[in-house]
Amino acid sequence: MDRHELGEELLTGHPLIDHQHQTLLALIDGMAEAVESGANWSMLQPRLQLFLRLLEEHFRSEEQVMREQYYPDYAQHRAVHQQLLAQARRWNLSETEHAPALEELLNVLYEVVLRHVEEEDLPLAFFMRRQARC
């Protein structure tokens, strides 16, 4: 599996948020490498739980930034956060008959992070840059 990094086009310009995005991607990359080396659900469980904790922390950080910036789309953005966390919790990030295969889950996690950055966080970054110019 390829390693994923945020390209310039996906950087928000907010050091903490960009660092957290990259940390989440690096954690998924590490899990992907472990799966390629034969790791199973139980072996990945601590990393999956860490991912969930870091995702929750990241969303709290973003929400704090949005409140500080009086971001007009705060409620919608926060609702997206809650939806993504609910999805992760439904899977319980553990092996069940309803959980996706590990490879599929990792692809979903990549997609969640990258799509969220592109669709939700970049508009926030644009808003913050616009506010800084005023």
110 found inside a domain? yes
Domain that holds residue 111: 30-133
101 found inside a domain? yes
- What's the domain count of the chain? 1
Which pLDDT does position 93 carry in this prediction? 56
2 found inside a domain? no
What averages of pLDDT result for each successive group of 10 residues across the chain (134 residues)? 76 95 95 91 88 95 96 96 86 58 85 92 93 74
95 found inside a domain? yes
Burial of 111 (0-12, 13-18, 19+ CB in 10 A): exposed
Which pLDDT does position 28 carry in this prediction? 94
Distance, CA of 134 to CA of 131 (rounded, Å): 5
pTM of the predicted model as reported, rounded to 2 decimal places: 0.88
List CB contacts of 43: < 8 A, sequence separation 6 or more. Answer: 34
* Radius of gyration of the chain measured on its C-alpha atoms: 16
105 found inside a domain? yes
Which pLDDT does position 131 carry in this prediction? 86
17 found inside a domain? no
5 found inside a domain? no
Residue at 102: amino acid letter: L
Phi and psi, residue 88, nearest 5°: -65, -40
Which pLDDT does position 71 carry in this prediction? 96
